[in-house]
Chains A and B, each alone.
Chain A
Amino acid sequence: MIAKLSHVSVFVLDQDSAYDFYVNKLGFKVHTDAPMGPGARWLTVCPPEQPELEIALMAISEGMMFTKESAHAMRDLVAKGTFGFGVFECNDLLATYEELKAKGVEFTKAPTQEFYGFEALFKDDSGNWFSLGQKEK
Chain B
Amino acid sequence: MGEVYPKIYLYRRIVKAKLFIDEHFAEDIDLDNIAGEAFFSKFHFIRLFKKTYAKTPHQYLTAVRVEKSKLLLQTDMAVAEVCYAVGFDSVSSFTGLFKHMNGITPSAYQQEKHRLRKEIKTAPLKFIPNCFAESHGWAKKSNFQEVEV
Binding site for B on A (CB under 8 A): 6-7, 9, 32-38, 40, 42, 56, 63-65, 91-92, 94-95, 98-99, 102, 137
Binding site for A on B (CB under 8 A): 3, 5, 8, 11-12, 14-16, 18-19, 52-54, 120-121, 124, 127-129, 132, 134-138, 144, 147-149
Contact B147 A37 (CB under 8 A): yes
Contact A34 B136 (CB under 8 A): no
Which A residues lie within 8 Å of B53 (CB)? 91-92, 95
Sampled A-B contacts (19; CB under 8 Å): A6-B129, A7-B132, A33-B120, A36-B147, A37-B149, A38-B148, A40-B136, A42-B132, A42-B138, A64-B137, A65-B135, A91-B53, A92-B52, A94-B11, A95-B15, A98-B11, A99-B15, A99-B18, A137-B3
Q: Which of B12, B19, B149 contacts A35 (CB 8 A)?
A: B149
CB nearest to B8 among chain A residues: A94
Q: Which of A6, A36, A95 contacts B124 (CB 8 A)?
A: A36
A33 and B121 alpha carbons, distance in the complex (Å): 9
Which A residues lie within 8 Å of B147 (CB)? 36-37
Contact B132 A56 (CB under 8 A): yes
A102 and B121 alpha carbons, distance in the complex (Å): 36
Which A residues lie within 8 Å of B148 (CB)? 37-38
Contact A36 B121 (CB under 8 A): no
Nearest chain A CB to B27 CB, angstrom units: 19
Contact B54 A32 (CB under 8 A): no
Contact A34 B14 (CB under 8 A): no
Nearest chain B CB to A90 CB, angstrom units: 11
Nearest chain B CB to A72 CB, angstrom units: 18
Contact B127 A42 (CB under 8 A): yes
Q: Which of B3, B5, B127, B138 contacts A32 (CB 8 A)?
A: B127
Contact A42 B14 (CB under 8 A): no
CB nearest to B119 among chain A residues: A34
Contact A34 B135 (CB under 8 A): no
Contact B15 A65 (CB under 8 A): no
A137 and B3 alpha carbons, distance in the complex (Å): 9
